[in-house]
Structure 1
Amino acid sequence: MMLQTIVHAAARSRAHGPTAALWHAVELHRPQAELDGACELTVCGSLARIVPDEQWPVAATDVCAVCTTLVR
């Protein structure tokens, strides 16, 4: 039996009109060293820019509730 560990990176979305920028989770399928800060598909299905210096979960109040629920 093989145990698979899922690693998540933190990503920041852009503010769109009345929608605030939020922190999202991105499931990593490659080493963190290969991340270049590009936009990635988040766990909740939106696009957000990876922030290599931040780890998921982030200690902030502006975190996507859907990502938080799905990552648990």
Structure 2
Amino acid sequence: MIRPEFVLRKLQLIADDLERLMRFRDETLESLTADDLKLAAVERILERIVMRAIDVNEHLIRDYH
């Protein structure tokens, strides 16, 4: 059974992380790769977005089967 609250919560967390990524929108690739902390932050935010998207998809697929 699809749990809308689960899906909505994950989507909200993804939206929050996308907002966090906006802090880095003016950074060049060179400036990100030159700063280990900035690069690690961007990588981690992207990782969280991907993992949450996987969570939503697995949840929906589970219900489909």
- Normalising by structure 2, report the TM-score: 0.22
Larger Rg: 1 or 2?
A: 2
Q: TM-score, normalised by structure 1?
A: 0.21
Kindly indicate which of the two structures has a greater share of residues assigned to strand.
1
* Structure showing the higher helix proportion among its residues: 2
**Which one scores higher on RCO, CA 8 angstroms, separation ≥ 6?**
2
